Structure 1
Amino acid sequence: MTTNVTAYAAPAAKAPLERTTIPRRAVGEHDVLIEIKYAGICHSDIHQARDEWGGATFPMVPGHEIAGIVAEVGSGVTKYAVGDRVGVGCMVDSCRECDNCRAGQEQYCTGGGMIGTYNATGRDGEPTYGGYSTHIVVDEAYVLRIPEGVALDAAAPLLCAGITVYSPLRHWNAGPGKKVAVVGMGGLGHMAVKIAHALGAEVTVLSQSLRKKDDGLKLGADHFHATSDPATFQELAGSFDLIVNTVSANLDVDAFLGLLKLDGAMVNVGAPENPSSFNVFSLLTARRTLAGSMIGGIRETQEMLDFCAEHGLGAEIELIGADQINEAYERVLASDVRYRFVIDIASLRD
């Protein structure tokens, strides 16, 4: 039997989000019922609620940065118990059988693709609804354990922003002796700075202006440069082993590729609304790589959470009530947040 729970949903593309109720499935044998405590606001929530990427289904309950407490478990659940601190990220299922799923890379599932936490269709044929709600039911295989070393509210953004930058930093071997540049210092970028620093890399922030320089240095950056200054691209030419581009706007790709060393890589984790272009000679002249990366798999996401707990890392957040979501969306678009909005789901229970 399904249960109706309170949520905030976008009733149509570009429409303001509003309070509503949504169905949650009954807890199955391998399911975990999570009482959501906090839900982060990701820029992709805005893109999807406004149907900027196409294919959106409404009503839509966004939210894939979920932190909460286990309220009930199915009879076959072995990993979690009532009262555990848990999280849910960007996916709630995948085929589990393709090579990528078997390798712990469920985010790259080739057996129909991963099933998103919201704006997707579950195996039961029903739409998935995200974390802007009081409860969610998720198969235990797609639930993460949040260590005690991270506060639940600061942990919520790690389930997307944290793993989105941790995965490429690990894959491209950020660490001692490596020079890493982070483009943009918003919700993703500020976590990239923290994690790259904790990994031991020399970290440079490349931001439009020097407005956030003090923050960047405090969070672990060694250097901070303004990309609005043409001298930056001359001064830093050929400097970096790895560039992690976190912004959701189109950049002069060739200019940024010119900052890479021989065999350097520029990895895009932000997703602009419009296509980007570049000159292939920007790659050929120094055997450079232009790459993309999504989130991590379940195993790597747990590794990231444990790493953050070990190093005392959490997101820098601004806690809001559910009635501030629409305002928060506008502020995200205006880059007016330091550095992640997190919804206090207790405000949905009032």
Structure 2
Amino acid sequence: MSETMFQAYASLEPGGRLQDWEYEPAPLGKEEVEIRITHNGLCHTDIHMRDNDWGISTYPLVPGHEVVGVVTQTGKDITSLAVGDRVGFGWIRDACRQCDHCIQGEENICHNGYTGLILGHHGGFADKLRAPADFAYKIPDRLDSAAAAPLLCAGITVYTPLRTYVTRPAMKVGVIGIGGLGHIAVKYAKAMGAEVTVFSTSPDKEAETKEFGAHHFQIWENADEMKKAHSSQDLIINTAPAATDFETALNLLGNNGTLCIVGLPTCSVEVPVTSLVFGQKAVVGSVVGGRRFMREMLNFSAVHNITPMVETMPLSQVNEAMDKVAANKARYRIVLTA
């Protein structure tokens, strides 16, 4: 077996189960690092990409974009990282670095389009990875690797809009969905000083939700509870990956409130214009985060001891893990270990 070959798990066709696969990586670039992968967070996006739900996947596809590992090689121009450093990679692999957004650390909305870690490149479900060092993030010592991995996508996905829209103490923040993203959103919102309400379809999650820091828990299908919550929220983060009743969601907002969509259901969004206009409400989207917020989020997590609830499974059981996530049976994030 060649020492230059990387061992990976890949889907060879849309919807295909992942299988053992190897590939020869491109030579290590002068601005890249190579890492030995130890942990991978399993994101629902990996399943969307495996199945080509968005029509952007290429095959063979090696998923994995919540990657933590140890630096084993550095390109000749790298001075910020050294062999032995523990680092992570998230959804964004690279960006133009020249547009106004990139200059402000908002590579997630790069004017010229960022490069995804698993868009035309092989991701973290492998023994090693090579990628640009500028998008490798040092993991704070206070965060263990299993906890850090999901923060690199799930964490930054909810941190960015909370950081953007939680602008005053005791804001009322609602979180729709208490899964891999939602439970981290609750922890961040609480740490930012918000009064947090969770809206869920899973009554059995109430006790855990309160442990995460939520002040209130309401069942989405309970008409009486939802009526009492009418016009009560300043900000709602919708983490649900499935279709949502957006009229109900907008009715939960007070005037000048904001509904932020971070989940990616494969459907269109219908927004009731009357509620939007007469309440001066806003519907916005947010996608992961740039380097500025990513570094800040990791440090914020370390300082406030914010970690996701994870269960670990060996990478060799990746298909079983994906089945569990697809069946909504993960509590709350699965991390695959080498």
What is the letter of the counterpart of residue 339 of structure 1?
Y
CA deviation string 1:252-305 (max 9, x = no partner): 101110000111100000000111212111211210001100011012101000
Q: CA deviation at 1:26?
A: 2.2
Q: What TM-score, normalized to structure 2?
A: 0.97
Matched, 1:20 2:21: yes
What is the letter of the counterpart of residue 116 of structure 1?
G
1:163 corresponds to = 156
Structure-1 separation of matches of 2:17 and 2:48: 13
Matched, 1:115 2:115: yes
2:137 corresponds to = 144
Structure-2 separation of matches of 1:246 and 1:340: 14
Q: CA deviation at 1:175?
A: 5.3
- For residues 216-227 of structure 1, the aligned pairs below 5 Å read 216-227=209-220
2:31 corresponds to = 30
Structure-1 separation of matches of 2:305 and 2:172: 23
Matched, 1:269 2:245: no
List runs of 5+ in structure 1 lacking aligned partners: 121-127, 346-350
Q: Is the 8 A contact 1:216 1:224 kept in 2?
A: yes
Structure-2 separation of matches of 1:335 and 1:81: 39
Q: CA 1:105–1:285 in structure 2 vs 1: closer, same or farther (change >3 Å)?
A: same
Matched, 1:83 2:76: no
What is the letter of the counterpart of residue 230 of structure 2?
A
Identity %: 40
What is the letter of the counterpart of residue 114 of structure 1?
Y
What is the letter of the counterpart of residue 134 of structure 1?
D
Structure-2 separation of matches of 1:232 and 1:7: 48
Q: CA deviation at 1:324?
A: 1.9
- For residues 193-204 of structure 1, the aligned pairs below 5 Å read 193-204=186-197
Matched, 1:291 2:284: yes
Q: CA deviation at 1:176?
A: 2.2
Say how many residue pairs are matched: 337
Q: Is the 8 A contact 2:219 2:226 kept in 1?
A: no
Structure-1 separation of matches of 2:293 and 2:127: 27
- For residues 97-246 of structure 1, the aligned pairs below 5 Å read 97-111=98-112, 113-120=113-120, 128-173=121-166, 176-246=169-239
Structure-1 separation of matches of 2:183 and 2:122: 27
1:95 corresponds to = 96
CA deviation string 1:127-182 (max 9, x = no partner): x1111111111211111111001110110000000000000001102552201011
CA deviation string 1:290-345 (max 9, x = no partner): 11000110121010000000011111111011232112222112210110111102
What is the letter of the counterpart of residue 211 of structure 2?
K
What is the letter of the counterpart of residue 166 of structure 1?
Y
Q: Is the 8 A contact 1:209 1:225 kept in 2?
A: no
Matched residue of 1:162: which SS? helix
Matched, 1:10 2:11: yes
Q: Is the 8 A contact 1:174 1:199 kept in 2?
A: no
Matched residue of 1:138: which SS? strand
1:125 corresponds to = none
- The runs of at least 4 consecutive aligned structure 1 residues that moved more than 3 Å come to none
Structure-2 separation of matches of 1:180 and 1:10: 39
Matched residue of 2:23: which SS? strand
Q: CA deviation at 1:2?
A: 9.8
CA deviation string 1:63-113 (max 9, x = no partner): 1101111111122112111111110000111111112111211111122x1
List runs of 5+ in structure 2 lacking aligned partners: none
Structure-2 separation of matches of 1:145 and 1:293: 24
- For residues 54-65 of structure 1, the aligned pairs below 5 Å read 54-65=55-66
Q: CA 1:89–1:102 in structure 2 vs 1: closer, same or farther (change >3 Å)?
A: same
1:348 corresponds to = none
CA RMSD of the aligned region, Å? 1.4
Deviates more, 1:171-180 or 1:204-213: 171-180
1:254 corresponds to = 247
Matched residue of 2:163: which SS? helix
Q: Is the 8 A contact 1:2 1:26 kept in 2?
A: no
CA deviation string 1:12-46 (max 9, x = no partner): 10111111112322222221111111001101110
Q: CA deviation at 1:3?
A: 2.8
Q: Is the 8 A contact 1:318 1:338 kept in 2?
A: yes
Structure-2 separation of matches of 1:51 and 1:139: 25
Q: CA 1:150–1:174 in structure 2 vs 1: closer, same or farther (change >3 Å)?
A: farther
